[in-house]
Amino acid sequence: MTSERQKSIGIDIGGTHMVFGLVDEQGRLQWKQKVKTDLSQGFTSMLAVIEAQVDACLTETGWSREQVRTIGIGMPGRVDADRGICLHAANLNLRNIPVAAEVARVTGMSCYINNDVRMYNYGEAMHGAGKGKQYVLGVTIGTGMAGAMIVKGEPYGGSDNRAGEIGHIPLEGVGTRCNCGMTGCLETIVSATGLARSARNVVKEGVDTVLATYHPDPASLTAADVSRAYDEGDAIAIGIMHHAGARLGQVLASLIPMLSPDVIIIGGGVALAEERLLHPVREVLSRLVSRAFLDGMDLTTALHNDDAGVIGAAAWATRCEKGER
Amino acid sequence: MTSERQKSIGIDIGGTHMVFGLVDEQGRLQWKQKVKTDLSQGFTSMLAVIEAQVDACLTETGWSREQVRTIGIGMPGRVDADRGICLHAANLNLRNIPVAAEVARVTGMSCYINNDVRMYNYGEAMHGAGKGKQYVLGVTIGTGMAGAMIVKGEPYGGSDNRAGEIGHIPLEGVGTRCNCGMTGCLETIVSATGLARSARNVVKEGVDTVLATYHPDPASLTAADVSRAYDEGDAIAIGIMHHAGARLGQVLASLIPMLSPDVIIIGGGVALAEERLLHPVREVLSRLVSRAFLDGMDLTTALHNDDAGVIGAAAWATRCEKGER
């Protein structure tokens, strides 16, 4: 059986797991597999896993190498998409690896790579919450926080492919040291890590909050606990979430007049907080930003969340293969 | 005499004056004329001036309509560049005017239009301080303040062509009402108007400053007076300039991690303040922004200043005519 439609394999590479998916041209995920990231032999062991999973995908779905043809990869760190090179991925301990060429060599298929946050938001821009929009600003909030702009279907790169570091925009009056070496970065407040830290801090200070009852050791508190306490009506948890939303809103208020996005998509694990987080963002935006920008602009959570990275990487490969960039 | 090289006429339309220039493909201005903007009959009178000045340009330079062929126009307000329509230019009182088609009709030449700040920064990106750079962030500071991003030779539009309003990014702790209806916009501090207001305010408050000696009426104080007093070593004037530079630096610190420009170009009349303004900007950036972004990034004043708009509009027309967009 053959198909007129282009299918592509998307791979979302993370520090602990890699997700593989077969995606059709409408962005529908037809097969998915999650495996551990194997870095025991550096890129060599990672490449072996990719080769094996691509084989498994084709075997299990019954599609041939000629029918699928393309692989798209989203990976952390700085990526030179034009040359297919991973410039530097600190958490994978990779530097200057010709990933696209190597994957193409072992799979016999065309391979295109890009940054994982860009691919996540490319997936949302093409087939998710940003579908049909020209100017998409994606903000992905998980352990850390990063952003991506997809402009008319093209991920915005920036000098040396460094753009998108919304999590490292500095906040006045915040003294928390960030992993990046600077102080007061947005992600020290708005991230799973930041929310959990805020929760830990209030419990350690002996504040009266239901958060104190969740774990014997406050170090175990998570961002999900903050959402849970929020839903129990805990004023402290509500305050933590509102503070994070307000700070996110303040930074978005600085970006919107300059970028004028059609849509802002909040994704990643922390996006599961939904309106608990977005309500204070909206409140700050309506106070600080002119209606000229807000009236036509959507602020929403990601549609595909966990799958957006795989869908985006596959869609990116399809686009690159067609020579549309 | 014929030339292999493409020449183009650039027009920079402002509320009080229009500047016409003949520009060669290297961005060199070969002829220039500045005339009053005639809005007595709305767009009709403006069009008549354009027709007459294009004729004058060709007559005076000896180039034929076939040799020059293209006209580029930068004009204020929101412009639909793809359709050649002025959507809304408040200070020209124009709305939904098919400017490109009308200019093409009366001149017999191809015409392309765009927003004036974008054309100014397009001129700087292609033939000025941003030459050879892929990610150019231009900030034009005059009576007001606006920005433009030129990404790989293409002006960034944003939703509804509203992008670039860096002057309307809100500042915490600033209570000055802005013309836009919001409060605390950056341009209330960083603009010729803002600098003059600060100067007036200190004089009215009876502060000991040389600014008090410049004019019988403090209402006559200008941004240039602040630079003059700065050069006389006046601590108050230095403070006003440092405050403006610090606020500009603070906003740029919010944009740089997200956009990662190769170069930030400060243009417009206030850019004549040069290092008096840029020094405090640099100081704030080095404190708030990671060296990963700053090390490869230039911060500089515009090279062509007054002429950048005409040079950019002409270069834009040449690019559009070649079908490179």
For residue range B235-284, what is the model confidence (pLDDT) as tens digits?
999 999 999 999 999 999 999 999 999 999 999 999 999 999 999 999 99
Binary contact (B159, A261; C-beta < 8 A) = yes
End-to-end Cα separation, chain A, in angstroms: 30
Which of A154, A153, A151, A178 is closest to A166 using CA atoms?
A178
Cα angle value B304/B305/B310 (rounded, 5°): 75
Integer Rg of chain B from CA: 20
Binary contact (A260, B159; C-beta < 8 A) = yes
Binary contact (A259, B292; C-beta < 8 A) = no
Beta bridge partners, A35, equal A18
A158 CB neighbours in chain B (<8 A) are: 135, 259-261
- Cβ-nearest to B260 among A159, A170, A258: A159
Q: Residue-wise pLDDT tens for chain A (325 aa)?
A: 344 568 999 999 999 999 999 999 999 999 999 999 999 999 999 999 999 999 999 999 999 998 899 999 999 999 999 999 999 999 899 999 999 999 999 999 999 999 999 999 999 999 999 999 999 999 999 999 999 999 999 999 999 999 999 999 999 999 999 989 999 999 999 999 999 999 999 999 999 999 999 999 999 999 999 999 999 999 999 999 999 999 999 999 999 999 999 999 999 999 999 999 999 999 999 999 999 999 999 999 999 989 999 999 999 999 999 887 6
DSSP state of A178: P
Chain A closest-CA separation from residue B129 CA (Å): 16
Binary contact (B181, A290; C-beta < 8 A) = yes
Token pair listed for B89: 């230019």
Binary contact (B160, A254; C-beta < 8 A) = no
Please tell me the number of Cα atoms within 13 Å of A301 on its side-chain side: 16
ipTM field? 0.94
Chain A closest-CA separation from residue B86 CA (Å): 17
Cα angle value B84/B105/B36 (rounded, 5°): 75
Residue-wise pLDDT tens digits, B3-39? 456 899 999 999 999 999 999 999 999 999 999 999 9
Q: Which residue of A has its CA nearest to B147?
A: A258
Residue pair B114/B155 in contact (Cβ under 8 Å)? The answer is yes
End-to-end Cα separation, chain B, in angstroms: 30
DSSP state of B182: -
- Cβ-nearest to B260 among A163, A172, A262: A163
Q: Which residue has the tokens 């303004």?
A: B277
Asked if the C-beta of B295 comes within 8 angstroms of chain A's C-beta atoms, the answer is no
Predicted model pTM: 0.95
Beta bridge partners, B127, equal none
Asked if the C-beta of B170 comes within 8 angstroms of chain A's C-beta atoms, the answer is yes
Residue A320 burial (CB count, 10 A): 22
Binary contact (B170, A293; C-beta < 8 A) = no
**Residue B293 vs residues A127, A172, B137, B308: alpha-carbon distances, Å:** 31, 19, 14, 27
Write out the E strands in chain B. Answer: 8-13, 17-23, 29-36, 70-75, 78-80, 85-89, 94-97, 110-115, 135-141, 145-151, 154-155, 263-267, 298-301
Distance between CA atoms of B195 and B182, rounded to whole angstroms? 19
Token pair listed for B142: 């005059």
B259 CB neighbours in chain A (<8 A) are: 156, 158, 163
Q: In what order do the strands lie in the sheet with A263-267?
A: A154-155, A145-151, A135-141, A263-267, A298-301
Q: Rounded to the nearest 5°, which phi and psi values hold at B146?
A: -150, 165
Distance between CA atoms of A144 and A274, rounded to whole angstroms? 17
Q: Residue-wise pLDDT tens for chain B (325 aa)?
A: 344 568 999 999 999 999 999 999 999 999 999 999 999 999 999 999 999 999 999 999 999 998 899 999 999 999 999 999 999 999 899 999 999 999 999 999 999 999 999 999 999 999 999 999 999 999 999 999 999 999 999 999 999 999 999 999 999 999 999 989 999 999 999 999 999 999 999 999 999 999 999 999 999 999 999 999 999 999 999 999 999 999 999 999 999 999 999 999 999 999 999 999 999 999 999 999 999 999 999 999 999 989 999 999 999 999 999 887 6
Which of A144, A46, A322 is closest to B257 using CA atoms?
A144
Distance between CA atoms of B165 and B237, rounded to whole angstroms? 27
Binary contact (A258, B164; C-beta < 8 A) = yes
Asked if the C-beta of A90 comes within 8 angstroms of chain B's C-beta atoms, the answer is no
Among B80, B88, B117, B159, the strongest candidate for a mutation testing the A interface, having the largest count of A CBs within 10 A, is: B159
Q: List the 180-209 stretch of A: residues with Cβ below 8 A of B.
A: 180-182
- Cβ-nearest to A259 among B158, B260, B292: B158
Which of B270, B183, B186, B187 is closest to B222 using CA atoms?
B270
Which of A318, A325, A315 is closest to A12 using CA atoms?
A315
Binary contact (B262, A293; C-beta < 8 A) = no
Asked if the C-beta of A296 comes within 8 angstroms of chain B's C-beta atoms, the answer is yes
Binary contact (A158, B135; C-beta < 8 A) = yes
Residue pair B193/A323 in contact (Cβ under 8 Å)? The answer is no
Asked if the C-beta of B179 comes within 8 angstroms of chain A's C-beta atoms, the answer is no
- Those residues whose C-beta lies under 8 Å from the C-beta of residue B264, and which sit 6 or more positions away, are B137, B138, B139, B252, B256, B297, B298, B299, B300
Asked if the C-beta of B257 comes within 8 angstroms of chain A's C-beta atoms, the answer is yes
Residue pair B266/B299 in contact (Cβ under 8 Å)? The answer is yes
User: Helix A192-204 to helix A223-231 angle, to the nearest 10 degrees?
Assistant: 70
Token pair listed for A61: 């779905």
Residue B66, pLDDT score: 87
Asked if the C-beta of A174 comes within 8 angstroms of chain B's C-beta atoms, the answer is no
Distance between CA atoms of A122 and B118, rounded to whole angstroms? 26
Binary contact (A163, B251; C-beta < 8 A) = no
Q: In what order do the strands lie in the sheet with B263-267?
A: B154-155, B145-151, B135-141, B263-267, B298-301
Asked if the C-beta of B166 comes within 8 angstroms of chain A's C-beta atoms, the answer is yes
Helices (H), A80-206: 99-107, 116-127, 192-204
Distance of CA A83 to the CA centre of its chain: 22
